[in-house]
A and B are shown apart, each in its own frame.
Chain A
Amino acid sequence: DAGVTQSPTHLIKTRGQQVTLRCSPKSGHDTVSWYQQALGQGPQFIFQYYEEEERQRGNFPDRFSGHQFPNYSSELNVNALLLGDSALYLCASKIRKGERGYTFGSGTRLTVV
């Protein structure tokens, strides 16, 4: 049983560009959250999606946006990239009405130069 799958694993972008990161949740999961983990820090909550809508949002600017598709997969988009956006982006999934505790993917390492 595949867990949470994220693509790509690594990405290098130039400041000012736009990037899209993708996530396929664990089979049977319908809720997806995204986290940003800067080097040496704990993950920071970006937003959560279920039923194809953003349900909660952390303290991130509007440059960060997302989408959830009918098959529960999700995308994270970041516009006008800044050097400070360099981080590991983690996708996590769960069953909305299931037990607490997310399953995390291995992440996408984004480097902005």
Chain B
Amino acid sequence: AQSVTQLGSHVSVSEGALVLLRCNYSSSVPPYLFWYVQYPNQGLQLLLKYTSAATLVKGINGFEAEFKKSETSFHLTKPSAHMSDAAEYFCAVSVGFGNEKLTFGTGTRLTIIP
């Protein structure tokens, strides 16, 4: 069975600073990895996804993530934080062709300090 661990339930960064949200996965087969963002009282929006192509994945709103098999990690980064980035971020994994079940982490709440 696959699982995801998000280190840090709350992360605070200053506006303009680097954003780093950590995600480690566990999977017995090559995984597909995703980052979703959730704004208050809204559903989930896909930021980016890794599907075994390039290991550095670029997403929307200036976010990117790097798949590192040796570290079983898929950390999310953004060079310069904006106030509008304040939200809950979820890392998720799915495995196997046709098995589209997403297993989510517990989320990281990102706060931006003006």
Contacts and interface: CB of A to CB of B under 8 A. Distances in A.
Answer yes or no: do A and B interact: yes
B42 A45 contact: no
Contacts of B103: 45
Contact of A103 (B42, B46, B94): B46
Contact of B100 (A40, A41, A48): A48
Interface string B85-114: 000001010100001111111110000000
A16 interface: no
Contact of B46 (A41, A45, A48, A101): A101
Contacts, number: 60
Interface string A47-58: 010000000101
Contacts of B99: 56
Interface stretch (A63-71, A72-80, A104-112): A104-112
Contact of B101 (A4, A40, A48, A106): A48
Nearest to B104: A42
B34 interface: yes
A101 B43 contact: no
Contacts of B104: 42-44
Contacts of A102: 46, 100, 102
Nearest to A50: B100
Given A100-B32, A104-B43, A45 B102 contact: yes
B106 A4 contact: no
Nearest to A103: B46
Nearest to B36: A104
19 contacts: A33-B102, A35-B102, A40-B106, A40-B107, A41-B107, A42-B105, A42-B107, A43-B102, A44-B104, A90-B43, A99-B51, A100-B51, A102-B46, A102-B100, A103-B46, A104-B36, A104-B43, A104-B44, A106-B43
For the complex of A and B, 9 pairs with smallest distance between CB atoms: A42-B104, A104-B43, A104-B44, A106-B43, A101-B49, A45-B101, A42-B106, A43-B104, A105-B43
Interface of B: 32, 34, 36, 41-46, 49, 51, 90, 92, 94, 99-107
